[in-house]
Amino acid sequence: MQCWLEIQVGFNFFTENHQEAYDFMIIATKLAEKENVLLPVMVNLDGFITSHGVESFEMLDDEVVKEFVGTWNPKYSLLDTQNPVTYGPVDLLIIILSIIDNKKKA
């Protein structure tokens, strides 16, 4: 099993098979939504060989996954017109440095 951490910002998981992709998606959801982490997470799966392969994998019961991941209560709603917020892929340097600091604390 390979797991590489993104050097700058967030977590980047590289998977070699279906089981790893499934497992890391669950872990990624927990990392991305954990209140004291809230960092970007990416799970990478090969776009041809593995994605088109036929391979069995073990799925966890929905209740087990829900208990591990927990419930998501966003701090800011995207649909709150009284308190609008902006989300996007561009960050200023000060925000990037803050994310790097938060990643070290995580």
Cα–Cα separations (whole angstroms), residue 106 to 4, 62, 69, 103:
15, 26, 16, 5
39 or 17: which leads in pLDDT? 17
Query: What is this structure's pTM?
Result: 0.67
pLDDT band at 5 (very low <50, low <70, confident <90, very high): very low
* The pLDDT of residue 11 is above 60: yes
Closest C-alpha to 74, from 65, 61, 83:
83
25-72 residue pLDDT tens: 999 999 888 888 777 888 988 888 777 878 888 999 999 999 999 888
* Averaged pLDDT score across all residues of the chain: 81
Q: Bridge-partner residues for 41, per DSSP?
A: 11
Collapsed DSSP state (helix, strand, coil) of residue 70: coil
Report the distance separating Cα 50 and Cα 31, nearest Å.
Answer: 24
Q: Give the domain ranges of the chain.
A: 11-105
The pLDDT assigned to 90 comes to: 67
Q: Nearest 5°: CA angle at 98, between 94 and 100?
A: 115
- Classify 11-105 by CATH class: alpha beta
* The pLDDT of residue 6 is above 70: no
